[in-house]
Structure 1
């Protein structure tokens, strides 16, 4: 066991039948790994408010994780691997914002892992060996995840499709409306002017007559020319 202890506050702490003189308010680091300890993790460990490193790995610790672990705001490293701990990971773990090292592997933990940017940043290997754990970063999905997500995804896709369909309908409607409007404006520009201005109307029909005569004459000449070629 190695602890960093300040003697400013002395507290008599009893754990596993052994009396340890600890200054709970000033302890910074505890390493009791590989000591064959058989015990629960005491709830009042959260009284060590300045504790930033705890290693209890490779023992025979059992029971549930203390609910008040989240009170250890200064936690940077926590290793509880290879014990017999059971139950869920307390939601208070989401408050461990400075946690940079975490290993809960090879216990009997179960339930959904708490959601926090800090906890989800760890590799799934640091949770492995807990067959009952589910949710990210654990690869195993929690019961009900698929049934709750699929309708949302499906409805989202449907809403997207409906939105796209509505947009396409508006585009086509605007396109056809612009065609009709353009035709009406062009029709009125030409024929409205002819109706209102007599001189322009006469000139327009004169052009039509001249064009008709030119087409008739040109067609007749080409016809006569083709007949001569065929006769030769």
Structure 2
């Protein structure tokens, strides 16, 4: 049975739990257990949980992935905070907003000191920058003066 590729046990009036040994068949690519009287939790295995819901249809007593959770799973209180559990799984101890704040801080520091250091180290860049700022200031001053003089005439 370890080399089994396809298993169709639908419409056979089978009852009871799905055997855990079925989860050990790693070559199984097609499974159909629909329209039986199976009950209990689907064995925890990536193999059995990867099949479509249609493989388990018609079994009112079945629960667990990919079907809805079992009643005993939802009644059991969680011992950890779900957000903490999520962060632990990802290996991340910061919330999203903390990550954004840290990124903005590093970006500002690197950007600011990148500009300041380039002006300190390269005198020609510093002179060109301040000439540009001076020319932009003159341009704005002239535009505003022209606008105000036109506005006063009307």
TM-score, normalized by length of structure 1?
0.38
* CA-CA distance at 1:95 after TM superposition: 1.8
Which of 113, 117, 136 aligns to 1:181? It is: 117
Q: Deviations over 1:207-226 (max 9, x none)?
A: xxxxxxxxxxxxxxxxxxxx
* CA-CA distance at 1:173 after TM superposition: 0.5
- 2:69 corresponding residue in structure 1: 141
Which of 95, 104, 122 aligns to 2:51? It is: 122
Take 2:82 and 2:15, find their aligned partners in 1: how far apart are those partners?
34
Take 1:186 and 1:163, find their aligned partners in 2: how far apart are those partners?
34
Conservation of the 8 A alpha-carbon contact between 2:37 and 2:61 = no
Considering fraction of residues, name the structure with more helix.
Answer: 2
* CA-CA distance at 1:158 after TM superposition: 6.9
From the superposition, tell whether residues 93 and 84 of structure 1 become closer, same or farther in structure 2 (CA, over 3 Å). closer
Considering fraction of residues, name the structure with more strand.
Answer: 1
Take 2:31 and 2:42, find their aligned partners in 1: how far apart are those partners?
20
**2:22 is the counterpart of 1:93:** yes
Greater CA radius of gyration, 1 or 2?
Answer: 1
**2:106 is the counterpart of 1:170:** yes
- Gaps in structure 2 of 5+ consecutive residues: 127-154
From the superposition, tell whether residues 185 and 123 of structure 1 become closer, same or farther in structure 2 (CA, over 3 Å). closer
Task: Choose between structure 1 and 2 for higher RCO, CA contacts under 8 A separated by at least 6 residues.
Answer: 2
Take 1:132 and 1:149, find their aligned partners in 2: how far apart are those partners?
30
Report the count of equivalent residues. 115
Q: Deviations over 1:118-163 (max 9, x none)?
A: x33433122123333223322x124249x57943346658736233
TM-score, normalized by length of structure 2?
0.52
- Aligned pairs for 1:1-80 within 5 A: 72-75=1-4, 76-79=6-9
**2:94 is the counterpart of 1:159:** yes
- Aligned pairs for 1:185-200 within 5 A: 185=121
Q: What is the aligned-residue RMSD (CA, Å)?
A: 3.8
